[in-house]
Structure 1
C-alpha cells in the first residue's frame, strides 16, 4: 500500500512538472526566444508553404537537448494549423510500427519523430519511400508467396529531431528539405527566457536574480526554467515576497549548482579526475566507475559541458583535466603534466 502511494505521489509530481513545462512553451515563432537565424528560415519556409496551400517540406532539427526542438515542432503545427503526431525512434521497434503510424496520417499532418537517429534500420528504409514518394509497400504473406502492396499516403510533413546528427545516414539526411542546427543560448537570451517564464508563473523576481540564474543555466532554456522553479520553491518556503539575488544564490547553492552551472555530477567527475587520477589521462569507463555512474551518463551529460567550458579535454590516451579544471576546484596542476594543460603550472 505504501509503495503504491509513493508511486502515485511520484507520478503526480512528474505530471505537475510536465504541465508546467508545457505551459512555459512558446506557442508561436514570434514568442520563441533565441535561434534568430533558424527562426527566420523556418518563418520563410512556412509562409511559402501557406501561400502555395501545401504542406511544408520535411524538416530536420539537430542540437543538444533542451534547446527547443520539440517546442519548434509544436510551433510548426500551430503556425500551419495542422494536427501533429508525436513519437520517437526508440518507440518504433519494427518497420510495421512506422507503417501503421504513416498509414493513419491525414493530409497535411505533421509527424514529429524525436531521436530519429535511433530508428531501426528496416523502419529507416521504409521512411525513405514515405518521405520521397508518399507511399509505403505493405508486405502480405511470407516466403516465396509474399507480395508487396503499395499504399499511397497523404502528403505530410516529417519533423525529425536528433541530438546526434552525425549518426544519421546520408540518404535520410538528404531527404529533408530543410536542416537546422540549434546552438546554445547566451546569458542575455536566457535572461529573456527566464523573464518570460517568471511572468507566466506570476513570479516576482529581481533583475540581478534573473542574471544569476541565467549564468548558471548552461546555455539551455530547459535548465533555466527548471532552476527558476527551484528558486521559486526556495523563496516560497522562506516566505520571501519576491526573489532577490540572495535568494537565488542560496537556492542554487542548496541544489548544488555552482557559479558556472556545474551540478553534483559535473563536479564529481572533475574532482575524481583531479584528485583520484592526478588530472589524467584516464579512460571514460574508469572515470564513470569512480563517480558511480553509467558510462553513457558521464559521456552524454557531464563530459560535453566540461569540455565546452574548457575544464576537461579528450585525448587519444583518455580524459584529462585542464588548468581551468584544476583551478575551478581550487587545485594546482602538477608541473610534470604542464604540457597537457592550457596554461603552464606556476612552478614549471
Structure 2
C-alpha cells in the first residue's frame, strides 16, 4: 500500500470507500443524546424538533455548515429518527438539472426529511426551483418550448429539507434565507474526541486505555471521522502485533501511517516542505503550490490549507501562502535570513 494512499485514506475527509462508509455508518449515534460534541447545535436542534412535535408539524428546514467529517450527515439522520419521519438522501452533484430535483421532490411522502449533501454544488436551475418548493411546497413545471411553453403548478407534500455544505459562502442568499435554522459545526476539542473514541472502541470491541485514546485524539485534526479511522488502523496494528492497543502501539501505528504528533499527513508535509525548502517560507501562490506537490488546487485550498492555518503553521496573505514561525520550528529547519514569517506581512 503506497504512502499516498495511506495518507489520503486516513486523513483526507473527501476520500471515502464503500468499506469506510459502512464502518462509519456502524458508529453513527442514533439520537442527539448519544451525539458527542457540538453542544450548542444539539440544544438548538432539540428545541426545533420538540416544538415541531408539540405543534404536530414538519420541522423547519435546516442548513448544516462546517468542514467535512464533523457529523452533518449523522445529524440529518438523527433529525429524521427523532422526528419519526422517513429519510431521503441525495447530493448536490447528483442534481444537475431542474428535472432531477423535480423527480425527487414529487416523490416525497408527507413529512419526509430530504437530505442534500454538498448542497452548494447543485445546478443553478435546480436551486431556483428549490426556492418555491421550500417556501410554498410547490414547484412549477414547464411543458413545451418557446412561445407555446406552459407552466404547470405541482403541489408537494410538506417536507423538511436538511442541507449540508462545507462552503456556505457559495450558497446564494435567496436559498440560504429560506432555511429556518442554520447550524455552524465547529472542530472538536481533544477531550470531546476522546469521548467519541471511547464509544467507538466499545462498539468495535477494542480494549484501549484513555491515554492511548488521547494520543489518537490529539492527531485527529479535531475531526471525529478521522479519529474513528485512526482507531481502526490502531486496532489493525494491535491485532497483527499481538501486544494490544497500548500507548506505544498507538504511536507506532500512527507513525507507520505517516500521521505525526500534530496530525499532519504526507500531503500536509509535502505542502509545508515546498514552502519552506523551495520558496524560503513563501509567499507562494495556490496554483504554484498545487503544481509543485502534484495535487489539485481545490484539494490544497479546501482540505490541507485550513488545517495548517488553524494550527498556526501557515498564513494566508494577499501575496500568497507563507510559513509562520511555528511552521519553521515544527519542521526544525533553519530560516533563511531573507525569509518572511506569515505574521510579518
RMSD between aligned alpha carbons? 1.2
Say which SS state the counterpart of residue 94 (structure 2) adopts. Answer: coil
- TM, length-normalised to structure 1: 0.93
* Matching residue within 82, 103, 108 for 2:106: 103
The higher radius of gyration belongs to 1
Give 1:329's aligned residue: 331
Give 2:60's aligned residue: 57
Q: Which runs of 4+ in 1 moved over 4 A?
A: none
- TM, length-normalised to structure 2: 0.93
In the TM superposition, what is the alpha-carbon distance from 1:342 to its structure 2 partner?
4.4
Matches within 5 A, 1:138-153: 138-153=141-156
In 2: Cα distance, 1:342 partner to 1:145 partner = 62
In 2: Cα distance, 1:91 partner to 1:332 partner = 49
Residue-pair matches, total: 329
In 2: Cα distance, 1:15 partner to 1:332 partner = 44
User: Structure 1 stretch 137-146 or stretch 124-133: which is displaced more?
Assistant: 137-146
Give 2:168's aligned residue: 165
In 1: Cα distance, 2:202 partner to 2:109 partner = 37
Provide Cα deviations, 1:85-131, integer angstroms capped at 9, x if missing partner. 11111101100000010000010000001111111111000000000
In 2: Cα distance, 1:15 partner to 1:291 partner = 27
1:213 corresponds to 2:216? yes
Structure 2 gap segments, 5+ residues each? 1-15
Instruction: Check whether the contact 2:208–2:245 (CA below 8 A) recurs between aligned residues.
Output: yes
Give 1:3's aligned residue: none
In 2: Cα distance, 1:341 partner to 1:64 partner = 23
Instruction: Check whether the contact 1:323–1:333 (CA below 8 A) recurs between aligned residues.
Output: no
Higher relative contact order (CA 8 A, sep 6+): 2
Provide Cα deviations, 1:181-211, integer angstroms capped at 9, x if missing partner. 0000000000000000000000001211101
In 2: Cα distance, 1:314 partner to 1:17 partner = 32
In the TM superposition, what is the alpha-carbon distance from 1:15 to its structure 2 partner?
3.3
In the TM superposition, what is the alpha-carbon distance from 1:50 to its structure 2 partner?
0.7
Give 1:287's aligned residue: 289
Give 1:47's aligned residue: 50
Say which SS state the counterpart of residue 127 (structure 1) adopts. Answer: helix
Instruction: Check whether the contact 1:323–1:332 (CA below 8 A) recurs between aligned residues.
Output: no
Give 2:301's aligned residue: 299
Say which SS state the counterpart of residue 337 (structure 1) adopts. Answer: coil
